[in-house]
Amino acid sequence: MTSGTQDTQTSAERQALQAAAFDRIGERYDEAFPHKEGQLAAGGWLINRLAPGARVLDVGCGTGLPTARQLADAGLKVTGIDISDGMLQLARRDVPDATFRQIDVRRLPAMGITEAGYEAVVAFFSLLMLTREEIPPTLRKLHALLAPGGYFLLSMVEADVDDMPLRFLGNRVWVSGYLRDELRQVVADAGFEVLDVRHLSYAPASTTVPPELQLFVYARRGES
Amino acid sequence: MPTRNDGWTKATDIGEHLGYLHGATARIGGGLELDQVVRALCDTTVPEIADLAAVYLYESVLVDGELPEAPDPGDLVVRQAAVAGGEGWGAAGLTAKVTASELTGPFAAAMARGRPAVWHGDHDGRPGLRSDVDCVLTRPWPGSVLVVPLRLDRLVLGFGVLLRAADRGAFTEAGDAQDVDVVTATLMADQAALGIHKAILYQREAQIADELQRSMLPKRPPRLPGIDIAHRYLPGNPTAQVGGDWFDAIPLAGSRVALVVGDVMGHGVRSAAAMGQLRIAARTLATLDPPPDQVLRQLDQLFNDMAEQLDEHYLATCIYCVYDPVARRCAIANAGHVPPVFIYPDGRTELIQLPTGAPVGVGGVAFQTFEMAAPDGALLAMCTDGLVESPDRDLNDGLAILLDSVQNAAKTHLDPAAGAAPVDAAPLEDLCEQVLRDLHIDGRVDDVALLVARFGGIPSEHVANWILRAHPQTPFRARRLVAATLSGWGLTGQIPTMELLVTELVTNAIRYATRPIAVRLLRTETSLLCEVTDDDHNPPVLCEPTTKGENGRGVYLVSRLARRWGTSLTPTGKSVWCEVALP
């Protein structure tokens, strides 16, 4: 589990490497993961619960597909953040109705992204790039960004790993994950009210990425 | 222009006679098949020497290609092998077969002495002759008769009967006078006997090559989840002595399968033998699970090593394709082989024109792996050049016909709606038959291999995959995930067994793993598969449990509980899998 490089790299260096990896991956990400039923279902669930014009923060929006586009098309005011400038350029091109900014989720809140400023926060397959140490404080920050009663949607890959190096579409990335019961607990511990945890078997369209079990956490911030 | 005359007995032109003899022996000796040889003997003697000619051979020679063991195999059946001429005489009632022991007169004498015999139809009054002649000539022949034995050293393979009508000069008893026609016919019969021997030997070698070839090819395709496979092998024309085509379907870890079609260049027994070695090498390499280009690279290396050891250099073309029914992808590499044909579920066809590497055995050539989507219901057809290429059809024309044929056959035999598993093998067999018919390969020279796969895929919801840290809690966590998943699949009855199996596999894996392990659960119509992958390369060892120590018990338990189990190497470690049957 532990490797030499891991101990000597700082978290910032790691993050820069991850960002560079996703710059290189770019559009291939959507080619490798063409079916996004679970993510679209979660987006649809959110759209049904929000009024047009509601503010949504898309954490780790990537190329803006499918979520930023789905939410923007439904009349929501979407802000997408990501560490990869390459991905964001694709997002600005493909989803002109949303706003995109290059911000590391761990640096939140940031200028213009303020506490209690969102009716919903979504983080689809992005927090799995953090370490297990970083995930709980990040979840608490996202909780704080939500207006009272706001919704939080989180998707992760079900796995019992922490900061595991992984070859992903020819690039090295580091991922963390939880098993379903643990994930529910981690989200609840960050202050959220967990409404549901759904799971979905998923086969990426690439033999270089293993099939995975996706977990979708449906949660909200209490009214207080 | 052949002419019916009284023969060369009175001919003064020796040059003309020798020219005839030369043409006849060349024709008799030129055939590689027994039928050709005996037919040539009849055809070259009629009408020049006789008006009607027939060849009789021991049945064992004619049917089995076996030489008689003793010079006088009396109880054997002699059978007519060829006949020519005799228009207007109704073939003179020449018998179809006779038992050798029934022959007593000139036929018996000719065979026993190995010398020609002559008599004159009804005018010959010698006692005992009639019955003998009756056996072969069931009606009286009002002319002259010559019997020539087909001799091979001391063995006699049969005889030739040459009949002359009464209006033509009679044959003269050999030895009595210098009857040039009798001597000529004897020479031609000798030539025919040698030709028959050559044909038998040739046929035998082709048969050995064919049997060797067939014995090394899979008889029936494996039944695997998410894919349906059918294949055909047809030997080439035995006289062309080609062979060395092969195909294979090899189950890999993760319910993937490697599909292989190849063709060893060369002839007969040797190329068949080289094919056998190559096929097993490809199978063995496949279980190590390198990417397709690496498999071809290793085979290339193997052929070069063989060339050094055996002083013989082989080349082979080969396609190696790995289908992953979960990802619904194919990874393909090609070593100079005929491109595969892909038929999409909507009927669209595509020739998969990969940048083909050189054939295996050329040495030091790079191969490349290409990935492509393999949607459910799509067909992949891989063949050897014998199917599409022939002396009067070039490769591109053949491929165009193949594309049309597979497209039409798919429409006829496969239900496009039945895309997903389970797939039925029978329609795919029909499809193979139709493709072979459409390509008109009856007169083929080369051998033909055809492998057709229909992709069915394994639905995502039938697969669960987790990556788990290796720590003391891992077996417990894996057990819980398996139980939850099986219960979601409605397979609660399998929970206890699968919990036990996954516990053993995970416990073994975390003992040596230095990185997180992967646990995969996969269900099909008939079975449940559990696979645990770790980063240790050493496969587990099955040993009988002893009272001392607790090592090796896990694998023993797995081998007893599971219907099948096995290990595959992966690029970064190994997978251990086991399978239980579903009721």
Query: For chains A and B, what is the number of CB pairs under 8 angstroms?
Result: 75
Contact B331 A212 (CB under 8 A): no
pLDDT-wise least confident of A155-164, B407-416, B486-495: B407-416
Contact A201 B465 (CB under 8 A): yes
**How far from chain centre, in Å, is Cα A16?**
17
Mean pLDDT over B240-269 rounds to 84
Residues in chain A with CB shorter than 8 Å from the CB of B520 are 211
Contact A211 B520 (CB under 8 A): yes
Q: Judge contact between B499 and B482, C-beta under 8 A.
A: yes
Mention every residue, 6+ apart, whose C-beta is less than 8 A from residue A199. A158, A180, A213, A214, A215, A216
The count of other CB atoms within 10 Å of the CB of residue B265 is 16
Cα-Cα end-to-end distance for chain A? 41
Per-position b or e across B398-419, b if 16+ CB within 10 A of its CB: bbebbbebbbebbeebbeeeeb
Contact A205 B470 (CB under 8 A): no
What is residue B390's three-state secondary structure?
strand
Distance CA B575, CA B554 (A): 15
Distances (CA, A) of A142 to A103, A106, A186, A190, A204: 14, 10, 13, 9, 28
Distance CA B575, CA B570 (A): 7
Residues in chain A with CB shorter than 8 Å from the CB of B571 are none
Distance CA B69, CA B133 (A): 26
Contact A211 B470 (CB under 8 A): no
Query: Which of the residue ranges A71-80, B109-118, B289-298, B512-521 has the most confident prediction, judged by mean pLDDT?
Result: A71-80
The ipTM is 0.74
Residues in chain A with CB shorter than 8 Å from the CB of B468 are 159-161
Is the model's pTM score more than 0.80?
Answer: no
Residues of A at the B interface, defined by Cβ within 8 angstroms:
1, 157-162, 164, 177, 179-180, 200-207, 209-213
Q: Judge contact between B246 and B275, C-beta under 8 A.
A: yes
Distance CA B577, CA B185 (A): 73
* pLDDT score, position B486: 95
Per the structure block, which two tokens stand in for B294? 């690496």
Helix (H) or strand (E) holding B75: none
What is the tens place of the pLDDT at every residue in B434-484? 998 888 877 777 888 999 999 999 888 898 989 999 999 999 999 999 999
Give me the average pLDDT of each 10-residue run along chain A (224 residues). Answer: 48 78 76 78 96 96 94 97 93 95 89 90 94 95 96 94 80 88 96 94 67 91 84
SS (H, E, C) B285-329: HHHHCCCHHHHHHHHHHHHHHHHHHHCCCCCEEEEEEEEECCCCE
What is the tens place of the pLDDT at every residue in A72-96? 999 999 999 999 999 999 999 999 9
